[in-house]
Chain A
């Protein structure tokens, strides 16, 4: 974890950083909890015969891909937690931009994720804009990709986050600021 200053940007664009393994295997119980939370009755997740016929066995809902990387709220012996999207925080620190919001994100889905899989992520800084002024303040936009692979090295998803780090110009930030 190290701050990313203006002089570091060119060197880090496109470089895979912060390899992280999910702390636990993909589990069926969480699939059901998530489907229950949104009343998703897709038989792929509830009917073994349908899952076998359509997807060659059980899978997790594709949009759950980031769920497998949120650590337990507590774990024995743990004193600090890594931050998801660490590059975002490295940029805020290195560029001196105390506030930040995520404006949009895209998920592209590849190989299905299956119960028992162990996923690995890496973060890649894709771009950092010149300084811009918006109604929030003056700062920079950046795009960070999170690449997800399974234990066989198959690509399962790529998430792209667009963030805006800024210095406040008097207006409050968005409802889900990450700072």
Chain B
């Protein structure tokens, strides 16, 4: 397990195989509705149980995809601290997450490196699961400082190759 020292996780603090501290969260109807409205997703299957059951054939309302992206971002930056800068995320939706579920985020480092611009990066495999079943998986790449005076957020143009 690695963790940021101070507010800055450095590339040198990380090795392939490191695991992020799991995040467990009990999902309620409020979680789902708040997440949908925060993402400006007004579709009824994210706030109307009757609609979700009768029209979508699901057992309840379920977390929408954009809000899951926000959960994954939070999970990654809890680990990196504010100097971690997301480069890319790929999501695969496998199943739905409902009120009453306890969702568990897990992640592991699958690669590290420094690109041709000198930007440090870490590749992560992340998942959110319920009762051991993965509901969404995410492969992510996040830039990390290579030294205490480095800041990936200062990169742009030709110096940012996400």
Contacts and interface: CB of A to CB of B under 8 A. Distances in A.
Interface of A: 30, 33-44, 50, 54-56, 61-64, 66-67, 70, 73, 102-112, 172, 174-176
Interface of B: 7, 25, 31, 34-35, 37-42, 56-58, 62, 65-67, 69-74, 77-78, 82-83, 85-93, 95-96, 151, 153, 156, 160, 162
26 contacts: A33-B34, A34-B39, A37-B35, A38-B70, A38-B74, A50-B7, A54-B82, A61-B73, A64-B66, A66-B66, A67-B40, A70-B42, A73-B42, A103-B92, A103-B93, A104-B90, A104-B93, A105-B91, A106-B89, A106-B90, A109-B85, A110-B160, A112-B153, A175-B56, A175-B58, A175-B95
Nearest to A175: B96
Classify the interface of chain A: helix, strand, loop or mixed.
Answer: mixed
A30 B153 contact: no
Given A63-B89, A103-B92, A172 B73 contact: no
Given A42-B82, A43-B82, A73-B42, A62 B73 contact: yes
Contact of A39 (B40, B67, B74, B90): B74
Contact of A37 (B38, B77, B151): B38
Contacts, number: 110
B89 A61 contact: no
A40 B90 CA distance: 20
Nearest to B57: A172
A153 B15 CA distance: 37
Given A106-B91, A176-B96, 7 more contacts: A33-B38, A34-B70, A44-B82, A63-B69, A63-B72, A172-B57, A175-B58
Nearest to B62: A175
